[in-house]
Structure 1
Amino acid sequence: MSLRSTVSAALLALCLSPGAQAAQAAQAARQPATVRLDYTHSGNALDEHYAVERVLIEPLPWPGDLSQRFDDTNRGNNRVEVADAKTGDLLYSRDFSTVFGEWKTTEEANKVSRGFHESVRFPKFDKPVRVRILKRDERNGFSVAWSIEVDADGQDVVRKQAPALAQPIPIVVNGPSPQKVDLLILGDGYTQADMQKFEADARRLSAHLFAVSPFKERARDFNVWAMAVPTRESGISRPSTGVHHASALGTRYDIFGSERYVLTLDNRALRDIAQYAPYEFIEILVNNDTYGGGGIFGQFSTAAAGNEWAEYLFVHEFGHHFAGLADEYYTSPVAYQSSGARMEPWEPNVTALRDPARLKWKQHVQAGTPLPTPWPKADYESASRAYQKRRAALRATNRPESEMSALFREDLARTRELFAPARYRTAIGAFEGANYEASGYYRPAMQCIMFDRSEQFCPVCRDGISEIIDLYARPAK
């Protein structure tokens, strides 16, 4: 058995019975290595360029199910395809989105060019392959943006790396990685003295995730790992308030000028740390009390673990990262600019409603429900404008976070009171206002975790999540 297989088997051995350990070790020995292609994605609002940085073999074997090599969910702004370099036969594919893709829609992208580090991972094949990065075109289909031949046995491939900066902690292990969805929870802004707090945060928030449907019903299809590289100071950077902290992951607030948007722009550091645990999805917990988070489909999500709304943030942002769910709210300020176009979104939970008879979630719509579906939109928007002014004032005057949390509770209670008597309160339909736009886009339900700080996903979002679980996990028996 290879060293990579031994390491992976040892992690699971911490949690499995002797018989299960033997089965896991045998399966790990059959798994191919994990190949990672690191590259630079640069450009501006009008132009894009790609350049290879390096190819490496990660320390652990491929965590995925080799019988589920092709992605047919049609999510994301991008797709990676791995094909036989000689025959062109498709060997592997996955859909994803990028930080560059989000930045490209900001005002800054109209003025300057920037470069972003990105990675794609795939199982090692016993032949040279052609890796293609595709992006959505004006027809909403995928077309090739970049193509490069990769020989994972070539001399330039990195095969040995520095020791891990942290060791993974098994939070929940339900079986061998190829049969499960592997979620890795990374910590940032946790000092060595905060490590017990990090593990408690990871256990608390992952437990909440599996209390929310459909994760609740599919909990046995997941493994959860946790890992954090200690920092010298507690908390992450928040530049808008003059707070700057160094960390291995480089996670920070104020991404794209949005005070609540939390991401890391250091993809190489993220991947170099994460590669020492089995993973397909990553959520980063930041050791801060200030409300904030973010999520990029197929990349990672973030949540402020110390905030009163941490459970909501963890689940909402994971919805973006895991299933490519769109934000259904539209009254909060965002960094993105409207294109004015109303192309049908690829996200499963929003629509431009060009043809109501072909609504993508029509199976959930009961006969007699009008499309578009009436709701107290004008009253909601009036109340939301007043709420947003108060929210901005609290941030501008740097008021205690407890006051912001109280405002959130008040806003949620007001929304519930407003929606309670609405005729289609519990219906699935097409409610105008979604995807950061007041008009032209529609959401499936009046309320959902993707719309406000509610506790549950609507049936359409649950379907979207279940489809991704099915792509990565063999249903538990």
Structure 2
Amino acid sequence: MAVSLSQISVAQQMTTPAKPATPATVRVDILHSGNAKTEHYALERVVIEPLPWPGQLKKNIDTSNRGNQLFEVRDKATGELLYSRGYSTVFAEWQSTAEAGKIDKGFEESLRFPKPQHAVNIRVLKRDQHMQFQTVWSIDLDTDAPDVVRKHQATTLKPIPIHISGNSADKVDLLIIGDGYTAKELNKFAADAKRMSQYLFTVSPFKERATDFNIWGLVAPTKESGVSRPSTGQFHASHTGASYDIFGSERYVLTLDNRALREFAQNAPYEFIEILVNNKTYGGGGIFGQFSTAAAGNNWANYLFVHEFGHHFAGLADEYYTSPVAYQTGAEITQEPWEPNVTALKDTSKLKWKQHVSAGANLPTTWPKERYEEASRAYQKVRADLRKNNRPESEMSALFKKDLVESSQLFSKDPNFHSIGAFEGANYEAKGYYRSQMQCLMFDRSEKFCRVCQDGITTIIDLYSK
């Protein structure tokens, strides 16, 4: 169902005339900087965004225990916790790259929350070596202070209703931003956003919870089609700063220009953002609580959209481990990861998903790991050669399809194919991390989330919807 913003506004006035006005949306822009061993925080500015707070005010406190970091908004006078959300950062990924061992670098981040009535204290917490949150930065803020940004440049940007289920306060608001679409391709963006939204709701548990979502689209034309791919000499102007080759990974698409992203996104109601880049080359990315990206023109666009949204929306870990990545998971595996779908399996009696473990399943659970890894090494070599030689994208897509067919055939013959247990190999590591099922949308390009990932997603839907 598609309705206009004006219709929603009228519906709100008719159905809730006695309720207090929806608070404004506060955005605190900060600079997160440092190197491989140090990090620092600094306030850039405080912004009152042009649209009111889109969230469910009765669910201001995050109890999901997700994210590498957590921010809290507390009443300055009383210390009462008013709002909290877990999240992860681009800085944390960069911090594990080789570059971070050589230079200092800064990344912009934003903390968004409903405008409080009084002065507040903002605290940023980070997990320590024992995975417990500890305060790493704190600042007192008055969101009515004279230097708070309240006025914004006039814009013709208007959100496109793609899938609207009701008032924003009662729903998960997902904003799909188009980047790299020329004036002649704006209809293509609308079609791309609608196609991938429809696909999202064919995948459980999104399928069963479709009425808990509002999906909006937002796009402005660019002069050139597509976003930058520096490794091939392509540099294009972008409204969000999205680009391939982040941290040297040819398939990793992110934006490092947080301000550009937030200034664009603030023109629509949102709690989550997925950026569709108008490119055919396979690529995407996702940061929990920040945003996700997907290449809309690729043959695997539907998969990319859902997989990367799984990172951004629910903090799901990648379950694959044979593909190279630009950053590392960390040092020696000594602690249980916070992500809901992977485990270090240090104590089988405390397994996160023990209620789902199949009867009679051994922990760890056997699977054809060696045969899979042997085939994967050959596949990765071919993949690297295709990119190195700049072969047509159709050849890469054919390779992906061949790999999925062969691995699915291998798995389906194993007696533990449908079992829920603890299968070694996950979170970019061949040893030490385990996933709950042999195959999952977070492991390969298959079409279903495992039961544990579905639970992880459902928890976040419940946090944001009525």
* TM more than 0.5: yes
Q: Would you say the 8 A contact 1:433–1:440 is kept in 2?
A: yes
C-alpha distance after superposition, 1:228-249 (max 9, x if no partner): 1210000000000001101121
Change (3 A) 1:109 1:23: farther
Aligned to 1:62: 53
TM-score if structure 2 supplies the norm length?
0.97
Aligned to 1:409: 401
Q: For 1:315, which of 293, 296, 306 is the aligned residue?
A: 306
Q: For 1:246, which of 237, 242, 245 is the aligned residue?
A: 237
Q: Would you say the 8 A contact 1:165–1:229 is kept in 2?
A: no
CA distance in 1, matches of 2:26, 2:364: 47
Aligned to 1:207: 198
Structure 2 segments unaligned to the other structure (5+ residues): none
Q: For 2:449, which of 436, 452, 457 is the aligned residue?
A: 457
Aligned to 1:345: 337
CA distance in 2, matches of 1:358, 1:204: 40
State percent identity of aligned pairs: 65
Read off the aligned partner of 1:78 and give its amino acid letter: Q
Aligned to 1:391: 383
Q: Would you say the 8 A contact 1:183–1:222 is kept in 2?
A: yes
Structure 1 segments unaligned to the other structure (5+ residues): 1-9
Q: How many residues matched?
A: 463
Read off the aligned partner of 2:47 and give its amino acid letter: L
CA distance in 2, matches of 1:156, 1:182: 29
How far did 1:339 drift? 3.0
CA distance in 1, matches of 2:438, 2:377: 18
Aligned to 2:84: 93
Aligned to 2:463: 471
C-alpha distance after superposition, 1:133-170 (max 9, x if no partner): 11111110101111011101111111101123521101
Change (3 A) 1:23 1:467: farther
Aligned to 1:13: 6
Aligned to 2:366: 374
Read off the aligned partner of 1:125 and give its amino acid letter: P
How far did 1:45 drift? 1.1
C-alpha distance after superposition, 1:194-217 (max 9, x if no partner): 100000000000110011000000
How far did 1:263 drift? 0.4
Change (3 A) 1:203 1:135: same
Q: Would you say the 8 A contact 1:28–1:61 is kept in 2?
A: no
Q: For 1:216, which of 185, 207, 212 is the aligned residue?
A: 207
Q: Would you say the 8 A contact 1:78–1:97 is kept in 2?
A: yes
CA distance in 1, matches of 2:16, 2:53: 14
CA distance in 1, matches of 2:369, 2:405: 16
Aligned to 1:444: 436
CA distance in 1, matches of 2:408, 2:264: 42
Read off the aligned partner of 2:5 and give its amino acid letter: L
Q: For 2:276, which of 265, 282, 285 is the aligned residue?
A: 285
Change (3 A) 1:304 1:465: same
> 2:249 matched to 1:258?
yes
CA distance in 2, matches of 1:349, 1:179: 27
What do you get for the CA RMSD once the two structures are aligned?
A: 1.4
Q: Aligned to 2:153, what secondary structure does the other structure show?
A: coil
> 2:153 matched to 1:167?
no
Read off the aligned partner of 1:155 and give its amino acid letter: P
Q: Aligned to 1:67, what secondary structure does the other structure show?
A: helix
Aligned to 2:349: 357
Q: Aligned to 2:306, what secondary structure does the other structure show?
A: helix
Aligned to 2:101: 110
TM-score if structure 1 supplies the norm length?
0.95
Read off the aligned partner of 2:174 and give its amino acid letter: L
Read off the aligned partner of 2:343 and give its amino acid letter: T
Q: For 1:228, which of 201, 219, 225 is the aligned residue?
A: 219
Read off the aligned partner of 1:260 and give its amino acid letter: R
How far did 1:338 drift? 4.9
CA distance in 2, matches of 1:15, 1:124: 22
Aligned to 1:423: 415
How far did 1:173 drift? 1.0
Q: For 1:35, which of 23, 26, 48 is the aligned residue?
A: 26
C-alpha distance after superposition, 1:284-340 (max 9, x if no partner): 000000000000000000000000000000000000000000000000001113533
Change (3 A) 1:338 1:315: closer
CA distance in 2, matches of 1:89, 1:181: 26
CA distance in 1, matches of 2:133, 2:240: 31
Q: Would you say the 8 A contact 1:132–1:144 is kept in 2?
A: yes
How far did 1:88 drift? 1.1
Q: Would you say the 8 A contact 2:329–2:427 is kept in 1?
A: no
